[in-house]
Structure 1
């Protein structure tokens, strides 16, 4: 399998329309090229969110806390299927229905590496039972923890540099979608 940096991502315009493709490495080289991505939020049946601390080897925002998993759909592939595959690979969660909450578009430069995230980020939400088995890939994930959304919002406000720069925006998109997504209902109640 080719390295993740050599895999292709779909470049998009400001409205999410496809404009071509580039490698992950090229899309994340300054100044960054807007491309399709996904961020998966997982909630357990008690309403807690799964966070992962990104592995030290990540080329962007290493060792920062982020949502359950992130990735890039391969051009022409199904967004939901690619996100479900990434969730299995990165966290070990299987057979979880993912639902579209909305899109978060952002640009952030990693001060440690100079790499750039400029993403048209599809926010997906899923639910797992309390105590669901997790098998994080140590090449991708340094550690995981479950947190109540209200506590996460407090931590994001108090220590934003501990978190991936997209996490607050992704959480807001999922919270706004909560009335139409039973999987995200806990986000709106805190």
Structure 2
């Protein structure tokens, strides 16, 4: 099996149009290359958001809290199918219907490693039943917890360095889409 850092990602321009490909490692080497990514935000039926604490072995933003899962679709792959597969691989959730909420473009340098996230990030939102069994991969995830959206927003405002730098933008995109996505409706009711 090819290591995650050796897998290919799709490079894109500012409009999200594919321009080529490179490895995950190269895309995240300073100054960073804009590439396609996805972030999955999961809510349960009570409207709580699943957050994961990234594993200590992560090469970018280790031990920071983030959304349910993140990843990079391989060039030519289907975004939603790749995201659904990563959801199973990272936290063990199967069969959650995912809805496209929008795109968040960002660039952030990890001060601990010098690695750079420069991503055209497709935000996907799903809803799962309360009590959905989670099975986090310890190589990917150090911890998980369900948090009410209003508490999550407070924590992001009060202690932003505890969270991955993309998470606030991902939450904002999902919240803005709440009126048109049943899976995200709880985000708009705070």
The TM-score normalised by the length of structure 2 is 1.00
The root-mean-square deviation of aligned C-alpha atoms, in Å, is: 0.3
- Cα distance in 2 for partners of 1:23, 1:52 equals 25
Q: Give the SS at the match of 1:180.
A: coil
- Cα distance in 2 for partners of 1:119, 1:150 equals 26
Q: Which runs of 5+ in 1 are unaligned?
A: none
1:181 and 2:176 matched = no
Q: Give the SS at the match of 1:152.
A: helix
* Aligned residue runs from structure 1 range 55-74, under 5 A: 55-74=55-74
CA drift of 1:155 comes to: 0.3
Runs of 4+ off more than 2 Å: none
Aligned equivalent of 1:39: 39
The TM-score normalised by the length of structure 1 is 1.00
CA drift of 1:7 comes to: 0.1
Aligned equivalent of 2:166: 166
Deviations 1:123-176 (A, max 9, x none): 000000000000000000000000011100000000000000000000000000
Aligned equivalent of 1:13: 13
Q: Which runs of 5+ in 2 are unaligned?
A: none
- Cα distance in 1 for partners of 2:102, 2:165 equals 17
Q: Give the SS at the match of 2:178.
A: helix
- Cα distance in 2 for partners of 1:111, 1:154 equals 24
Between the two proteins, the alignment pairs up a number of residues equal to 190
